[in-house]
Amino acid sequence: MSGFKRLAVYCGSATPADPTYMEMARAVGDTLARRGIGVVYGGGKVGLMGAIADAAIAAGGEVIGVIPEALVNAEVAHRGLTELHVVPDMHTRKALFTSLSDGFLTLPGGVGTMDELWEAVSWAQLGYHDKPVGLLNVGGFYDQLIAFNRHMIEVGFIRAQHAGILIARDDLDALLDAMAAYEAHETIFSMKADRL
C-alpha cells in the first residue's frame, strides 16, 4: 500500500495526568492532517480522542467520528467533525471503522482500545481485511503488550505467517512508513485444515 486516504485511530477517551499522552495525541492528529490522511475515530470530544480530532481539524484534515448511541452523552460526542456517524452498537462501530479506513493506528488507551486493536489483528489473521495494524508505543506504554505478542508467537498461538500483522514503532513517522510498506499475509480462510 503506497499511501492512506484514511486511518482508523484507536485511543483512550480518558485524559491521563501525564501531559505526554495528550501532547502525543495532538501531534498525531496534526501529522495525519498535514500528510493528507483522514482520521476515523470514536467520535468523542474528550480525552485523547478529542485531542486528536481537534488537532486534525485545526490543521485542515478530514475527521470522521463513529459513536454508538449509548455513548453519545457519556463520551460527549464531538459536533465539529467532518462527519459524525451515530450507530446502534459497538459491533456496528468497529465494522464501520474497518470499511471507512485503509488501516488501523492504535495509540495508548484502555480496555476499549485493546478490544479494537485485537479485533483488527484477529480480522487480519482470518482474512476479513488485509489492512495494516499499527501500534504507536509512546514512552514504552506498550512494551509489555509487545512482549506478550512475541510470547504468543514463540509459543505457537500466533502462526509464523501472522507474526508481522501487528506493526509496532515508537515514532509516528517510522510507524506510518512501516504500515505503508505492509504486505498482506496468508489468511486463515485460505489455509487447508491440515495447516491450522
Query: Domain residues of the chain, as ranges?
Result: 6-195
Burial of 115 (0-12, 13-18, 19+ CB in 10 A): middle
Element (H, E) at 105: strand 104-106
Q: 47-58 and 20-34 are packed helices; what angle lies between their axes, rounded to 10 degrees?
A: 40
Residue identified by cell 488485509 is 130
Coil, strand or helix: which one is 85?
strand
Residue type, 163: A
**pTM, two decimal places:** 0.93
The CATH number of 6-195, from 3.40.50.450, 3.40.50.1860, 3.40.50.1220, 3.20.20.10, is 3.40.50.450
Q: How much is the pLDDT for 3?
A: 84
Confidence at 109, pLDDT banded by 50, 70, 90: very high
User: How far is residue 48's CA from residue 18's CA, in Å, rounded to a whole number?
Assistant: 12
Checking if the pLDDT of 194 tops 70, the result is no
Q: What is the mean pLDDT of the chain?
A: 94
